[in-house]
């Protein structure tokens, strides 16, 4: 694959952060792309975008449950500390920050694309980052703002009902760009990744998490999670929209992002916790950096 190698890494150095106080709740799936009958709750962007209106409608319908830890997104709330452990360690290492400080991400400008109700944005702000959260569903943004205003530390988050493409048009740039559980819901993953790259400063970081298009993922993330255990609303995911790790690496590479690290997430039904793993057959996360010569 053009000299690109996916390193399947189990980062033991992430483990000290997995259950730290600063990692409140979880992250989760996020809005998406085009349909002839857009939901009235989804704000239509004026700029061309990779949005999928069917997906926007799905998430608008359950927007009020973003901060319900016992609601449809409960499994994703449980996953958030593990995602944040990966993000914290990777960003601190790349930007030469002290991962053990109380505000290890201080000084970094981060955008959370497809932020939903702010489940990722808030802990990033508590870690010291200057955070912008964007989502195409207006209801999500309203809920995110209301929840963030409950805490002075998170009330500084800038929430915008917009798209990554619109931010690119505005000339916005960030040290790090996050897109967790979003790419499987967009109409055009390649164009979406181009927007993520355009928002990233040269030598900045891009983090993408998603679900592998494997039979195991179909069995666990769709059949089990949506239809048997009913952890998620039925129809949350479409297997054909998933990307394999190899596909994601290639798409990001073509957009000017070099994937440097990848890890999987594995759920333990006994403990009820997620952990980082070298098993990327279902849920996985990729950390990449933007090449200096990329616009």
Closest CA to 104 of 127, 87, 126: 127
Question: Which residue in the block uniquely carries the two structure tokens 């499994």?
Answer: 75
Please state, in angstroms and rounded to a whole number, the distance separating the CA atoms of residues 241 and 189: 9
pLDDT value, residue 20: 37
Whether 125 contacts 131, CB under 8 Å:
yes
pLDDT value, residue 278: 96
Please state, in angstroms and rounded to a whole number, the distance separating the CA atoms of residues 294 and 95: 19
176 strand-pairing partners: 110, 205
**For residue 99, what are the CA distances in angstroms to 90, 125, 134, 264?**
9, 15, 26, 21
Which residue stretches of the chain have pLDDT < 50?
1-46
């Amino acid at each position: 694959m053009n000299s690109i190698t996916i390193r399947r890494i189990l980062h033991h150095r992430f483990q000290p952060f997995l259950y730290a106080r600063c990692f409140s709740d979880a992250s989760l799936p996020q809005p998406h792309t085009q349909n002839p009958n857009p939901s009235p709750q989804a704000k239509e962007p004026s700029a061309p975008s990779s949005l999928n209106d069917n997906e926007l409608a799905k998430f608008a319908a359950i927007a009020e449950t973003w901060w319900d830890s016992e609601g449809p997104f409960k499994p994703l709330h449980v996953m958030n500390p593990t995602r944040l452990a990966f993000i914290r360690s990777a960003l601190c290492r790349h930007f030469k920050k002290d991962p053990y400080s109380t505000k290890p991400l201080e000084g970094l400008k981060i955008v959370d694309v497809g932020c939903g109700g702010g489940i990722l944005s808030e802990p990033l702000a508590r870690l010291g980052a200057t955070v912008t959260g964007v989502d195409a569903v207006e209801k999500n943004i309203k809920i995110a703002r209301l929840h963030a205003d409950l805490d002075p530390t998170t009330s500084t988050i800038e929430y915008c009902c917009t798209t990554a493409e619109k931010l690119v048009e505005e000339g916005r740039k960030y040290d790090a760009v996050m897109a967790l559980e979003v790419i499987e819901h967009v109409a055009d993953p390649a164009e979406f990744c181009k927007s993520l790259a355009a928002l990233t400063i040269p030598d900045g970081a891009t983090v993408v998490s998603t679900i592998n298009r494997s039979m195991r993922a179909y069995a666990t993330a769709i059949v089990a999670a949506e239809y048997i255990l009913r952890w998620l609303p039925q129809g949350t995911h479409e297997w054909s929209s998933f990307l394999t790790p190899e596909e994601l690496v290639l798409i990001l590479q073509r957009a000017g992002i070099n994937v440097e690290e990848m890890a999987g997430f594995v759920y333990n039904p006994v403990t009820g916790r997620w952990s980082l793993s070298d098993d990327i057959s279902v849920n996985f996360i990729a950390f990449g950096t933007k090449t200096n010569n990329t616009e």
